[in-house]
Amino acid sequence: VQPPEKPLQAEEWNKLREDFHLPEIFEEVMLNNMIRCNSPIDVAKSLLTHVAKRNGDIAYNVLVKYLTLCVRQGQVSEIRDVYDIMKVRFKILESGAYNLLIRGLSNSDQWRMALTLLEEAKKIMIPSRTCYESCIKAASRHQEMKLAFELYHEMLAKDVVPTLDVLQSFFNFSRGMNGAELQKQLFGILLYLRENQIYPHKTFMQSIKLWFESIPGGNWRGNLTKIKDSGQCPVCKQQLEDSNLTEEEYSNLSERIIRDVIHGTDTFRKTSPKEFEAFQTFVENRLPFDIVIDGLNVSHIKSRKMQCENLSDAVNCLAKENARLLVLGRKHMLMNSSNWKREIMKEMQNKADFFFAENISEDDAFLLYATLQSGKHCRFVTRDFLRDHKACLSDSVTRHLFRKWQRGHQIVLKKKKKKKSFSSVLSQQPAFRYDCVVQTTGDTWHIPYKDVFEEKYSYQVPRKWLCIQQK
Amino acid sequence: MQCANMLLRKIVRSSVLPFAAQHGMKKDLFLLSRTLSLSLCLKQDKACEPSEKLDLDEWKKVMKSGLQEEVSETVSEPKELSSLAAARETLEMWRLAGRAVPENISEEQLKTFMECPSKSAKKKYLKYLHLKELRKKSHKRKMDEKRERRLEAQDQASNTDETKKSSFVYLSSRTMDKVYHWRAAQSMIFGQPLVFDMSYEKEMSVREVTNTVKQIVLSESCNRRTVDPFHIHFCNFKDDSLYHKEFIKHYGEAWDKLLITVTDQCYTEIFPKDKLIYLTADSPKVMKKFDHDKIYIVGSMVDRSIKTGVSLAWAKRLGLETAALPLEKYLLWSTGAKNLTLDQMMHILLTLKDTADWKKALEFVPKRKYCGFVNKPVKELKKTLDLINTLKLRKGREGVEKQFAKNHPKKYTLK
């Protein structure tokens, strides 16, 4: 239904309503369409008047729809009127109406009323992140940074995750402002990014840069750069934090992997106690390894080659400098088949240690265990992102540890096409030597950022950095 | 007049005037004041012009005026509500806002609702209740309609006053029941056992357990109705478990009269281990044919959250043989998980037992899950497809050949 362009008289509405195939929901549908077309508010008003005259009352959902239209067009006085009416008519309001009211009022100069509404909403529910977002933005827009930060901390305390937008607005609105307290708070946000391994996007990064440079008397300078593989920042020559976990983190992580990933609710789901024990003794007798290889994963790199050839290529590629290799596989690899030739397997077993799990066991769990047991220097080879294993870990802190460890220890083999010939060679994408996370030394800050607004994959780490140093 | 005054006062109080002036929203304001003055004039003159100007804010007056009495009522009420009552209020508001919320909600359901750990869990639970309510309502409506129709038919029959006597032998449902029970009793002595493993209660939510029991009830009834039923065993069945409670809910008194074996023993204690086959979709082995000497075990578990390998883990722990249905072999699978419901399993097993015809048996796999039935194994079809593809992409084929020649120079030479 096309909403009319001008306010209609009651009779005209009546006629439209009768022509509509479902007269009971006519108002709803009409208002929805008005919202979609962003119709003039007067048209909606005339519809409401018509409804009020006919029924002597207006249903709550119709009022909410009208409110949506008002919020969309920033009609502050109307929003207030609707609120007054709702307040008298209904004992409490529900979250949808509060969301709208808060959003509508926070953009006006009656933004303080949004705050009182937020207080009201808190009585019946945990306000949504958009509610907080509107209020925080309103407060910081009016330079009430203290209030904004109070709200921010409140929302964190309630486990409501702030949007990047909110965080960015803090930097935008604090530009040029002085104050040790404010600086501390903003550094706190950067540390929040660090702890939760969040990477700001490009415009957010710009906001951070501009804020730093605007601190009066701070003498901060920001530069965009790329960090070398060695982990040195080319601008300030600072060495970034390395990707190693601390002793405590490391032992925590390996404990949790054994508990949550390998055993889980039932050891039999991924392996069996007997098999796991056998693997444990196998590993302990041969420790430590330098590189642990996921045999089956590596064997699928090039689909046109035999699987055992792929594996032997990989082993040859990695078996330099007397590195101690462990290859994990499944028992079916030992059966002489078209893909697994016995001679090639024999040959490989001279170069590396092999462990063959049962065909129905999960070899990835063994991969993680062997690597972690070998110590911090040990790395592993697989193209798998290990997301299912990360998901087995029960809390986010350990998951972050896992990601960090994975970034620092996973080698990814890739095929590289040589020109003119059909053969391709393997190349290593090495593990990161530095930790890709927001970091500071006091007089420098290094902030990795994403080029695009939403990067799709969680395993991808940004390669671009913002280096900020104090002179 | 009073209304208009109130409105005026309101406008002054809420400081719309200075605000509007600041923001250049004069047009709106003028409109408002003009309608106000107009309505004042109208009231005074009591003269209705034929081309009446539309009062856009009239709805507000209506909404407010109708409420004067109600306001005084609400004020006298105690402000503090118990958390349950508050939740009820919130739900009512959500319902008014047009969300999927049930109209009536019991105290128990309300408590479950409040114990939901997250917002989305709450939403889901409400939607579930809402749909349940709708279904109940439509069912009731249908039953009412049916009753009416029946009454009408009776009326007509009594009008014509004709007692029809059919020459067929009449089989009452009681006679049929007797036959079924006789068969079931026979199966308890001579029938092939079929085990339902009831040890998954811990892995499931309450809703999943109810679903499981519902599916088992369906399977039991279709088993009872076949010519040659299985002898059903419920193994690892604990009294006072959630399963038990749900079964009582479904069967009532009939639970004690069911012609099945219920035991808290494990199947390994009742049957020889080498005869047991655990059916699980995670099994690496594929069932080739139905074996009349084996005892098949079905895990009584509904798994909405895709926990892989739970029943396989049990089979592994006990060292049992496992098998999966040959779904891939006979069906061109399209979507959905390979795990089937318990009643579908029962239908399939019963059909296999009677006919040994995979095509007939796999008819019971839901149609949405597969696109078609194949006579050749799917693997072979795929091979042919691959071959066609390589033939189409000549270049790729040459590459493969060269590569192959290079890797295996002795066995293969290019002509």
List, for residues A21-51, the tens digit of each pLDDT value. Answer: 888 888 889 999 999 998 888 888 888 888 8
Contact assessment for residue A398 and residue A410, using Cβ atoms and an 8 Å cutoff: no
Domain boundaries, position B119: 99-160
% of chain B beyond a pLDDT of 90: 32
Select the more confidently predicted residue: B342 or A58: B342
B341 burial level (CB within 10 Å; 0-12, 13-18, 19+): middle
Asked whether residue B192 falls in the same domain as residue B277, the answer is: yes
| A-chain residues near B284 (CB < 8 A) | 359-360
| Chain A residue at shortest CA distance from B316 | A268
Residue A168, pLDDT above cutoff 50:
yes
Average pLDDT taken over every residue of chain A: 87
Q: Grade residue A427 by pLDDT with cuts at 50, 70 and 90.
A: low
Residues within 8 A of B (CB atoms), A 339-378 only: 359-360
Residue type at A363? D
| pLDDT reported for residue B68 | 52
Q: Which of A7, A80, A88 has its CB closest to that of B71?
A: A88
Asked whether residue B190 falls in the same domain as residue B266, the answer is: yes
pLDDT digits (tens, 9 = 90+) for B346-366: 999 999 998 888 888 999 999
Asked whether residue B147 falls in the same domain as residue B174, the answer is: no
Q: Is B379 domain-assigned?
A: no
| pLDDT reported for residue A185 | 93
Asked whether residue B133 falls in the same domain as residue B183, the answer is: no
- How many Å apart are CA B15 and CA B9, to the nearest integer? 10
- How many Å apart are CA A331 and CA A355, to the nearest integer? 9
Q: Is B211 domain-assigned?
A: yes
A174 burial level (CB within 10 Å; 0-12, 13-18, 19+): buried
pLDDT digits (tens, 9 = 90+) for A411-426: 887 776 655 444 455 6
A230: closest CA of chain B, how far (Å): 38
- How many Å apart are CA A220 and CA A212, to the nearest integer? 6
A434 burial level (CB within 10 Å; 0-12, 13-18, 19+): buried
| pLDDT reported for residue A454 | 59
pLDDT digits (tens, 9 = 90+) for B72-122: 444 444 455 678 888 888 888 888 888 889 988 998 899 989 888 888 899
Asked whether residue B108 falls in the same domain as residue B206, the answer is: no
| pLDDT reported for residue B176 | 85
Residue B408, pLDDT above cutoff 60:
no
Asked whether residue B146 falls in the same domain as residue B220, the answer is: no
Asked whether residue B123 falls in the same domain as residue B256, the answer is: no
Residue B7, pLDDT above cutoff 80:
no
C-alpha triplet A394, A395, A398: angle, nearest 5°: 105
The angle, 0 to 180 degrees and rounded to 10, between the axes of the packed helices A76-89 and A95-106 is 150
φ/ψ (deg, to 5) at B91: -60, -40
Return the structure tokens found at B108: 């128990």
Domain architecture of chain A: domains with CATH: 247-428 (3.40.50.11980)
| pLDDT reported for residue B67 | 54
Asked whether residue B149 falls in the same domain as residue B239, the answer is: no
In this structure, the strands spanning A291-294 and B193-197 are unpaired
pLDDT digits (tens, 9 = 90+) for A327-375: 999 998 888 888 888 888 888 888 889 999 988 888 888 999 999 998 8
| pLDDT reported for residue B49 | 39
Segment among A112-116, A296-300, A390-394, B36-40 with least mean pLDDT:
B36-40
Q: Grade residue B29 by pLDDT with cuts at 50, 70 and 90.
A: very low
- How many Å apart are CA B272 and CA A269, to the nearest integer? 24
Asked whether residue B330 falls in the same domain as residue B347, the answer is: yes
Mutate to test the interface with B, among A54, A73, A87, A360 (most CBs of B within 10 A): A360
A178: closest CA of chain B, how far (Å): 31
Asked whether residue B153 falls in the same domain as residue B276, the answer is: no
- How many Å apart are CA A380 and CA A378, to the nearest integer? 7
| A-chain residues near B55 (CB < 8 A) | 49
Tally A–B CB contacts below 8 A: 118
Q: Is B232 domain-assigned?
A: yes
Q: Which of B14, B59, B313 has its CB closest to that of A52?
A: B59
| Neighbour tally for A172: CB within 10 Å | 19
* B403·A304 Cβ contact <8 A: yes
Return the structure tokens found at A379: 């790395």
- Provide mean pLDDT across the span A302-319: 82
Residues within 8 A of B (CB atoms), A 8-37 only: 9, 28
| pLDDT reported for residue B165 | 60
Euclidean distance between the first and the last CA atom of chain A, given in angstroms as a whole number = 64
Residue B1, pLDDT above cutoff 60:
no
Domains: count for chain B: 2
Select the more confidently predicted residue: A218 or B229: B229
| pLDDT reported for residue B213 | 94
Q: Is B389 domain-assigned?
A: no
In this structure, the strands spanning A379-381 and B370-373 are unpaired
* A85·B308 Cβ contact <8 A: no
Q: Grade residue B403 by pLDDT with cuts at 50, 70 and 90.
A: low
Q: Is B346 domain-assigned?
A: yes
| Chain A residue at shortest CA distance from B202 | A265
B128: closest CA of chain A, how far (Å): 20
* pTM greater than 0.80: no
| pLDDT reported for residue A404 | 86
Asked whether residue B214 falls in the same domain as residue B346, the answer is: yes
Q: What is the ipTM of this complex?
A: 0.79
Of B82, B254, B277, B117, nearest to B194 by C-alpha is B277
- Provide mean pLDDT across the span A302-320: 82
Select the more confidently predicted residue: A192 or A350: A192
A263: closest CA of chain B, how far (Å): 12
- How many Å apart are CA B94 and CA B51, to the nearest integer? 41
Q: Is B401 domain-assigned?
A: no
Asked whether residue B144 falls in the same domain as residue B185, the answer is: no
Select the more confidently predicted residue: B41 or A139: A139
Q: Grade residue B12 by pLDDT with cuts at 50, 70 and 90.
A: very low
Q: Is B91 domain-assigned?
A: no
* B89·A91 Cβ contact <8 A: yes
Contact assessment for residue B381 and residue B338, using Cβ atoms and an 8 Å cutoff: no
Q: Is B188 domain-assigned?
A: yes
